[in-house]
Amino acid sequence: MNETNSITSTNVVGNVVDSIKDSGISGLLDYFTTLDSVHYITFVINLLIFIFGRQIINNLSVETVGANQSRLRLLRLINTILFLTYLLAVAFQLQLATNFSHTGLLMLLTYLGSQFAHSLILKKYGRQREVEGTSLFIESHTSHSLHLLALLLLGVLAGLIFLNIWNLENWLQTTSFLGAIAVLVFTTKDYWLKDFISGIMVISNGNIERGDVVRIPSENILAIVLETRGTLTILRDLIRNHNITVPNSLLLNVQVEILDTESRKGVSDYVDFNIGYETPSDAATEYLTEVWKKASKLTSTINSDREGIIKLVHNGDHAVTWRLLYNLKAVHGITEARNSINLAAFELQQHHNIKLATPLTHTFPSGKPDGIKSLS
């Protein structure tokens, strides 16, 4: 059987080569005119997506900056694989390669269909907001539910077409196939089910939305929420300025501080300073007031119309903890504002004769350091 396929493929390739030798380009064109309509459709779709891939992704995208590039790379990858399998199927007339080509086309159309459905549902039932100067849509409970329903329908439809391509329709008539799927789902549930359900709960609660700035103290994370997916949430770290992913279950099991990004009064933040006991309270207050004024000139993210508030929050063993509270125009500039406050505090400490260094306490077993005699 293998030898027959090999001889057939060799004869086909030989006929194509002989046709090109005998009649040049016209022979090649004559060969391609004998192809099925499915091959033409596959070729045209590949060509159009290859040329207009970026425009397609940009028109379908309603999400945050940076997501388009990854989607475009995935689309190009599927496009390239499909085109190679298509050429293999046409050149060698192999049924297996033809099936792979049709499967690739199915994957491509399913991916584009899911992106189109997500974009349409999000624009229709999502909510629009502005983040870092970019207008984007965020998920609502309705849009998320409809998106899951659309993915389910697309998955069922793509599965039926896949079985038809590979002539596996009889699988649907047996319980072994459905049983295998059930076993696969059950054995892998520990890896995705908890985070998947957590993702639904996060979106349904509406507490954490795309564009929110969140602080997760246990993970030392201060970031913008970019997207909540099936099992994970993508964040952009405001300090390191790169994207990170966290499992959705983490957002439900740890403390998450959600900084208000839409408040007309702005967002308040603070920086604590440890100042020695030798500094009077009025001197510390004057110093921190000057720090706020200087920082307001260093960055426009601090709201200079609302004066900073200075409070004594803790009398420690070595120093007094003073807190400088200030108002931000936009929460996305929280890191820049903190850096400006710290820079201003460092530059003004000598002028105000303030020492931000905290003294150390040394404990001696005998109650006094060696070499020092008691005064009694």
pLDDT of 79 reads: 78
- pLDDT-derived band of residue 152, with 50, 70 and 90 as boundaries? confident
pLDDT at 342 over 80: yes
Mean pLDDT is highest, among 120-129, 220-229, 280-289, for 280-289
The rounded distance, in Å, linking the Cα atoms of 88 and 82 is 10
Token pair belonging to 208: 């954490």
Mean pLDDT is highest, among 33-42, 85-94, 278-287, 326-335, for 278-287
266-317 tens-digit pLDDT: 788 999 999 988 899 999 999 999 999 999 999 998 999 889 999 999 998 8
- pLDDT-derived band of residue 340, with 50, 70 and 90 as boundaries? very high
- pLDDT-derived band of residue 140, with 50, 70 and 90 as boundaries? confident
**What is the residue type of 364?**
F
Q: What integer best gives the mean pLDDT of the chain?
A: 77
pLDDT of 338 reads: 93
Token pair belonging to 255: 């403390």
The rounded distance, in Å, linking the Cα atoms of 356 and 319 is 9
pLDDT of 375 reads: 47
pLDDT at 23 over 50: no
Residue with tokens 């995935």: 74
Q: Which of 39-48, 168-177, 283-292 has the lowest mean pLDDT?
A: 168-177
The rounded distance, in Å, linking the Cα atoms of 154 and 151 is 5
The rounded distance, in Å, linking the Cα atoms of 217 and 269 is 15
pLDDT of 281 reads: 93
Dihedral sign of CA atoms 265, 341, 323, 351 in order: negative
Q: Which of 76-80, 90-94, 301-305 has the lowest mean pLDDT?
A: 90-94
The rounded distance, in Å, linking the Cα atoms of 279 and 359 is 14
- pLDDT-derived band of residue 95, with 50, 70 and 90 as boundaries? low
Mean pLDDT is highest, among 47-56, 88-97, 289-298, 366-375, for 289-298
pLDDT of 349 reads: 92
pLDDT at 363 over 70: no
The rounded distance, in Å, linking the Cα atoms of 72 and 75 is 5
- pLDDT-derived band of residue 128, with 50, 70 and 90 as boundaries? confident
Cβ contact 230:196 at 8 Å: yes
Residue with tokens 């038809």: 164
- pLDDT-derived band of residue 154, with 50, 70 and 90 as boundaries? very high
| Strand 309-315 to 232-237 pairing | unpaired
Among candidate residues 81, 79, 87, the one with its CA nearest the CA of residue 56:
79
pLDDT at 71 over 70: yes
pLDDT of 194 reads: 82
The residues that bridge with 268 in the sheet, in sequence order, are: 327
Long-range contacts of 228-231 (CB under 8 A, 24+ apart): 228/139, 228/199, 228/202, 228/203, 229/199, 230/192, 230/195, 230/196, 230/199, 231/192, 231/195, 231/196, 231/199
pLDDT of 280 reads: 93
**% of the chain exceeding 90 in pLDDT:** 22
pLDDT at 209 over 60: yes
**% of the chain exceeding 70 in pLDDT:** 72
Residue with tokens 């991916």: 111
**What is the residue type of 199?**
G
Q: Which of 64-78, 103-117, 329-343 has the lowest mean pLDDT?
A: 64-78
Report DSSP letters for 273-293, one per residue.
Answer: EEE-TTS-HHHHHHHHHHHHH
pLDDT at 10 over 70: no
Burial category of 88 from C-beta neighbours within 10 Å (exposed 0-12, middle 13-18, buried 19 and up): middle
pTM > 0.85: yes or no: no
Long-range contacts of 142-146 (CB under 8 A, 24+ apart): 144/200, 144/203, 144/204, 146/121
pLDDT at 320 over 70: yes
